Amino acid sequence: MRIGFIGFGEVGYEMSKGFLTEDPQAQFFVYDPLYEKEETQQRAKKTHATLFSDPQSVAKETLDVLFVAVPAPFAEDAWRSIWSELNEETLHVDLTTASAQVKQRLGEDMLNEKRTFIDGAIMGALKVYQHKVPIMVSGTGSTSLIDWGKSTHMNLTYAGDLPGDATNIKFIRSIFTKGLSALLHEVMQAADKLALDDIILDSITRTMDKEPFEQIINRLISSNVIHSQRREKEMENVIDFLNSHGIEPQMTKATRDKLKMITQANILEKNQGDPPKDWKQVMRLVNCT
């Protein structure tokens, strides 16, 4: 296999090491703005990569896949700098953390020239997983990349034909995972401080492990439509409770504020007084204002 990397930082280096374990004959053609740096040269040496001093030389090679893996602010420039060398055969994959808008714009321009353009959002730790890191992919050519990736055991998930969607999914997922981590921190800090940690752990895990998470989503989002006002007041009391124990109620204050906003959204009224049947209906009513 012949793989190009524009940007040969952690992403390119770790993935290359992984690809080599699958195919010791794999060939890498790489460029990095820091190509003169000792570290870059060592990385190229360790992966037997051909290190160029300009990105065009990478793009001129016959490649199965060309990855761009530069810091987000340089993503668009990196693609534009090799624009004239790109072709219809190579799979072009943007692994940067550039915004969905940037990736959508690049994708449209690529599509106009009949080139593939795949938005790849890395969802895990590269040092742990190397080329097997979970990557969400969207855009023209995604399914071809997934086919190609199967032989190398890449962990690619199809997220649609629009570049930017993979990036948006990564963002939205991270609201959830980081938010949950912050919430659990606040909850467990209170539990530990009051020496109720074991019983709280038991109570919470039992609730969470009892039913599939989709049912929990439905139950929690839907019940707020009816009970948000009462719960606002409950959260007021919990804020006082946390303050009195010296715990900063950041997540609980935000919960109260969100509940207030849910109350003000009059979701039940918008649905002619019928309780929404699931979270999807709640969100349609919320977003259709």
Q: For tokens 């808008």, what's the residue? A: 101
Shortest approach of its own copies to residue 141 CB, angstroms? 18
> What's CA 272's distance to the chain center, in Å?
37
Shortest approach of its own copies to residue 115 CB, angstroms? 25
| Three-state secondary structure call for residue 69 | coil
Shortest approach of its own copies to residue 150 CB, angstroms? 20
The pairs formed by 156-161 with CB atoms below 8 angstroms and a separation of 24 or more are 156/120, 159/121
- If the CB atoms of residues 152 and 252 are measured against its own copies, the closer one turns out to be 252
| Three-state secondary structure call for residue 27 | strand
Distance CA 256, CA 240 (A): 12
- If the CB atoms of residues 176 and 273 are measured against its own copies, the closer one turns out to be 176
Shortest approach of its own copies to residue 219 CB, angstroms? 9
- If the CB atoms of residues 21 and 250 are measured against its own copies, the closer one turns out to be 250
Shortest approach of its own copies to residue 94 CB, angstroms? 16
Shortest approach of its own copies to residue 58 CB, angstroms? 28
Whole-Å CA distances, 215 to 188, 192, 222: 24, 29, 10
Helical packing angle, 250-264 and 213-244, nearest 10°:
120
- If the CB atoms of residues 15 and 190 are measured against its own copies, the closer one turns out to be 190
Can you state the percent helix, strand and coil of the chain, rounding each to 5?
60, 10, 30
- If the CB atoms of residues 53 and 179 are measured against its own copies, the closer one turns out to be 179
- If the CB atoms of residues 1 and 146 are measured against its own copies, the closer one turns out to be 146
Distance CA 267, CA 270 (A): 5
Q: Which residues contact 273 (CB under 8 A, 6 or more apart)?
A: none
| Three-state secondary structure call for residue 91 | strand
> What's phi and psi for 205, nearest 5 deg?
-65, -35
- If the CB atoms of residues 130 and 168 are measured against its own copies, the closer one turns out to be 168
Shortest approach of its own copies to residue 97 CB, angstroms? 8
Helical packing angle, 279-287 and 213-244, nearest 10°:
70
- If the CB atoms of residues 131 and 170 are measured against its own copies, the closer one turns out to be 170
> What's CA 68's distance to the chain center, in Å?
17
Shortest approach of its own copies to residue 75 CB, angstroms? 14
